[in-house]
Amino acid sequence: MSGPNYTSRRSRLLRAIKTAGVDALLLSGESNVRYLTGFTGDSTWLFLSKTATVLISDSRYETQIANECPGLDVDIRDARKPMSVAAADVVKKAKVRQLGFEADHLTVTQHSALHQKVESAELVSTTGLAERLREIKDKWELVQIREAIYQAERGIGVVRSSLRPDQTERDIRYTLEAAMRSFGATGPGFEPIVGVGPTGALPHAHAGDRLVSESPILLIDWGAEAPSGYRSDLTRVFVTGRITRQMRTVYETVLKAQKKAIAAIKPGAKCRSVDAIARRVISNAGFEKYFGHGLGHGFGLDIHESVRMSPISKQVLEPGMVVTVEPGIYLPGKFGVRIEDDILVTNTGHEVLTSVPREFDDAVVEFLA
C-alpha cells in the first residue's frame, strides 16, 4: 500500500486556511507537522501558504528532512538564529499580510518573539485547523491503527497468560511494554495504567508497588505505538480472585453502558448523545457520581485527539473517525472498572477495531502456577 499523500493533506489545509481568513499558517504542533510532511523529529515548524511550503528547522535535522520529506523546501537556521527570527524571515519573503499561528501549540514567549520580528504581518490566532483534518483517518492511517491495536492485543495476551500473585503493578507494566515491543511496537502508546484494587479507582493512576494479590480486581489501560507513530488505546479489568457482589454489579453496569454507547455510533450521531447513552445506564444503576470523565476521544498520532465524546461536545460523528468508548465507575479507596475499545465510524455505522473479549467470564484470569 502506498504511503500517505502529504500534498493532498496540505491542499486540504490550504482550503481551511482560506476559510479561516488568513493568507498563511505557521504550524508549530509537532504531530501536525508530522501529519502534513512526514517529518518525525521535533523543534521544526512548517510555514504553509498558497505559494510556499517551508520547513524551518536546524542542522541536526537537515539529513533527516531530506530523507523523510523529499522535495520540500527547507530553511535550516543557524545556531545563532532563534526560531522566531528564522520564521519571520520566511514570512517576510512570502509577503504574507495575515499570518495564522496555532494557539494550542505556541508558547506566550514564542508568540511575543514572533510578534516583534514579524512586523509586516498581522498575527492571527487559529485553533484546530490541522486537528480537524486529522479527525478523519484515511486508508493508510487505518492500517497503521490496526497494527497498533494488534501489537497491544498480543501484548496483553502475554500479560494475561503469565500473571502471578507476586507481581507488582510495575512488573506488569514492564512485561506489557516489552511484549508489545516484541510484536513490533516502537513503544507503548502512552504510559500504561496498571492498577490493583484501589489504584484502579484513580482514572489516571501510575503503576506502583501494589501486588496483584492485594485485590481481586486489576485494571489495565494500555496501547501500543506502531513504527508509523499511530497508536491504540484499550482498557480491560481482570478478575484474579473472589469478588464481591458490588464488583460484579459495577462490571456489568460499565459493560452495558459501553455496549449501548457503541451501538449508537454511526455517521451523524452527536458525540454528546452517545456520551449521554452510557451516562444514563450508569446513573440508572446509581453510580452517576462515580463516572466523572467523558465517554471517549479520537486518537491517532496522538493518544488524545480531536473528536471528544463528552456532555459538552458539539461534534458530530463522520465516516473515517476513530474514537474510544470508555465508560468507567470508580469507587474511591475500593476499586475502579473501565472498559475501553477502539471504534471506527463507517459509512453505514461502525466497526469495533479491538477484539480482546470483554464479557465478565472473559475477565476472570487464572494465575500462572
Which residues in this chain contact Zn ion in the complex, by CB under 5 A? 221, 233, 324, 340
Q: How far is the CB of 95 from Zn ion (least distance, A)?
A: 44
Burial 266-284 (b: 16+ CB within 10 A, else e): ebebebbebbbbbbebbee
Smaller CB distance to Zn ion: residue 275 or 340?
A: 340
Smaller CB distance to Zn ion: residue 204 or 245?
A: 204
Residue with cell 486529522: 134
Count of residues in the chain: 369
DSSP 86-150: HHHHHHHHTT-SEEEEETTS--HHHHHHHHHH--SSEEEEE-SHHHHHHTB--HHHHHHHHHHHH
47 SS3 class: strand
Q: How far is the CB of 176 from Zn ion (least distance, A)?
A: 13
Q: How far is the CB of 159 from Zn ion (least distance, A)?
A: 15
Smaller CB distance to Zn ion: residue 141 or 302?
A: 302
Smaller CB distance to Zn ion: residue 214 or 305?
A: 305
Q: What is the dihedral of CA 207, 213, 215, 219, to 10 degrees?
A: 40
Q: How far is the CB of 238 from Zn ion (least distance, A)?
A: 15
Q: How far apart are CA 82 and CA 79, in angstroms?
A: 7
Smaller CB distance to Zn ion: residue 61 or 299?
A: 299
CB 212 within 8 A of CB 172: yes
Smaller CB distance to Zn ion: residue 214 or 233?
A: 233
Phi and psi, residue 245, nearest 5° = -65, -35
The secondary element (H helix, E strand) that includes residue 167 is none
Smaller CB distance to Zn ion: residue 90 or 205?
A: 205
CB 118 within 8 A of CB 143: no
Cell numbers placing 264: 449508537
Smaller CB distance to Zn ion: residue 10 or 134?
A: 134
Smaller CB distance to Zn ion: residue 315 or 324?
A: 324
Q: How far apart are CA 267 and CA 348, in angstroms?
A: 7
Q: How far is the CB of 221 from Zn ion (least distance, A)?
A: 4
Q: How far is the CB of 322 from Zn ion (least distance, A)?
A: 12
218 SS3 class: strand
Q: How far is the CB of 27 from Zn ion (least distance, A)?
A: 25
> Ramachandran region of residue 286, left (φ > 0), alpha (ψ -120 to 50) or beta?
left
Parallel/antiparallel/unpaired status of strands 193-196 and 187-188: unpaired
CB 232 within 8 A of CB 189: yes
Q: How far is the CB of 338 from Zn ion (least distance, A)?
A: 8
Q: How far is the CB of 216 from Zn ion (least distance, A)?
A: 22
